[in-house]
Amino acid sequence: MEKLTLQEEEAMLLLWKNGGGFVKDILDEMEGEKPPYTTLASTIKNLEKKGFVKAVKFANANRYEPIISQEAYKSTFMNGFVGGYFKNSYKELVSFFAKEEKISAQELQEIIKMINDGSES
């Protein structure tokens, strides 16, 4: 699976959120400074070429639907990220965020509780 550019990822997040959409729908949902329609249309065409979305013809327009789930994308790239930067150690990842003060002791306790609650199921 190919890594998405920031623009592609932004479009995919909206497609995942809405279960698909027309270019105009995606453009309308974007926050902040919006790209030109043609730029977004090109971005979505690239997503189609990469195999992330499929075009479904409606009259004279295409509605784009995700083929790859958000969970599958996250899993693939989180594993690659942790492997590349943290020697495949999620412990190293969490330790990094703790040292950088990006995660608090309370948040770590909440994570531990989530892990323990999940393992009891």
Looking at the structure, tell me whether residues 11 and 46 fall in a common domain.
yes
Looking at the structure, tell me whether residues 62 and 22 fall in a common domain.
yes
Beta-strand runs (E) in the chain: 21-22, 53-58, 61-66
Give the model confidence (pLDDT) of 78-117 as tens digits.
888 888 888 888 888 888 888 888 888 888 888 888 888 8
Query: With bands split at pLDDT 50, 70 and 90, how would you rate the model's confidence at 57?
Result: very high
Asked whether 89 and 82 are in contact (CB, 8 A), the reply is: yes
Q: 19: burial class by Cβ within 10 Å (0-12, 13-18, 19+)?
A: exposed
Selected residue with higher pLDDT from 102 and 57: 57
Strands laid side by side in the 53-58 sheet: 21-22, 61-66, 53-58
101 located within any domain: yes
Give the model confidence (pLDDT) of 18-51 as tens digits.
999 999 999 999 998 999 999 999 999 999 999 9
Q: Cα dihedral angle (50, 56, 58, 60), rounded to 10 degrees?
A: 40
**According to the model, what pLDDT value does residue 68 have?**
94
53 located within any domain: yes
Looking at the structure, tell me whether residues 53 and 21 fall in a common domain.
yes
Looking at the structure, tell me whether residues 25 and 61 fall in a common domain.
yes
Domain count, the chain: 2
Three-state secondary-structure class, residue 12? helix
The domain of 33 spans 6-66
**According to the model, what pLDDT value does residue 12 have?**
96
Selected residue with higher pLDDT from 15 and 105: 15
